[in-house]
C-alpha cells in the first residue's frame, strides 16, 4: 500500500517590501514588468524565453505540448489579444506577496491573498483584489463570492514558475 505524502507549505505573512526579495527574483519580476510596460503581450516572450523552463499558464492538459506560450496567453485573455493578461499581471504585481516554502523550494507569490486569504480592508482593497481575476474566472468564484485570482510564482533562483488561477 502506497501512502500519498502530504506536503505542508510554510507561507509567510504578506509583505510589500521589494527590498526583501532575493536579487534573482527581483530581476525576473523587473523583466516581466518591463515587458508589461510595452502593452504588447508579445513582449512577454523575453522573460518567458529568459527562463530556463517555460512558466505554466494553465494546468496540464489544457493546451497541447509545444503550444506557443504567447498564443496560450492570448487564448486565456478575454479579448483574445492578450490585453486582459497584461492588465491582470500588472494588478497582481501591485499587490503584496508571500514567501512560500515547500520542501527545498522557496517561491515568491503575488498576490498574497491568493495563498493567505484575508478579508479586504476596505472597498478599495476589494476592488484591487477583483482586478486580479480573469473575466472568465468570475463565474468560478466560490460560494462566499471570493474570487479565484491569477497568481504569479517566481522561485528564489529567479525561475518564473507560473501565472495562472487556482483550480
Q: Over the stretch 52-77, which tens digit does the pLDDT of each residue have?
A: 889 999 876 778 888 899 999 999 99
Residue 158: how many other CB atoms lie within 10 Å: 18
Compute CA distances 69 → 53, 55, 79, 84, whole Å: 11, 8, 16, 15
Answer whether residue 157 shows pLDDT above 90: yes
Q: What is the pLDDT of residue 167?
A: 56
**8 A C-beta contact, residue 133 and residue 140:** no
Indicate the length of the chain as a whole number.
167
Does residue 150 carry a pLDDT above 90?
Answer: yes
pLDDT at 33: 98
Would you kindly state where each structural domain of the chain is located, as residue ranges?
A: 18-165
Does residue 4 surpass a pLDDT of 50?
A: no
**Residue 53 or residue 158, greater confidence:** 158
Specify the range with the lowest mean pLDDT, choosing from 42-46, 76-80, 123-127.
Answer: 123-127
Judge whether 151 and 165 are in contact, CB under 8 Å: yes
Asked if the model's pLDDT at residue 165 lies above 90, the reply is no
Q: How confident is the model at residue 2 (pLDDT cuts 50, 70, 90)?
A: very low
Amino acid at each position: 500500500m502506497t501512502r500519498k505524502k502530504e506536503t505542508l507549505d510554510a507561507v509567510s505573512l504578506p509583505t510589500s517590501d521589494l527590498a526583501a526579495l532575493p536579487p534573482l527574483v527581483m530581476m525576473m519580476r523587473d523583466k516581466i514588468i518591463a515587458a508589461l510596460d510595452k502593452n504588447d503581450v508579445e513582449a512577454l516572450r523575453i522573460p518567458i524565453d529568459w527562463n530556463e523552463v517555460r512558466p505554466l499558464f494553465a494546468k496540464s492538459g489544457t493546451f497541447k505540448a509545444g503550444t506557443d506560450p504567447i498564443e496560450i496567453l492570448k487564448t486565456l485573455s478575454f479579448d483574445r489579444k492578450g490585453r486582459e493578461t497584461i492588465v491582470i499581471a500588472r494588478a497582481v504585481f501591485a499587490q503584496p506577496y508571500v514567501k512560500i516554502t515547500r520542501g527545498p523550494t522557496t517561491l515568491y507569490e503575488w498576490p498574497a491573498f491568493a495563498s493567505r486569504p484575508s478579508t479586504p480592508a476596505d472597498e478599495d482593497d476589494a476592488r484591487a483584489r477583483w482586478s486580479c481575476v480573469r473575466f472568465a474566472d468570475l463565474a468560478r468564484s466560490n460560494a462566499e463570492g471570493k474570487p479565484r485570482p491569477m497568481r504569479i510564482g517566481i522561485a528564489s533562483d529567479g525561475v518564473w514558475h507560473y501565472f495562472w488561477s487556482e483550480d
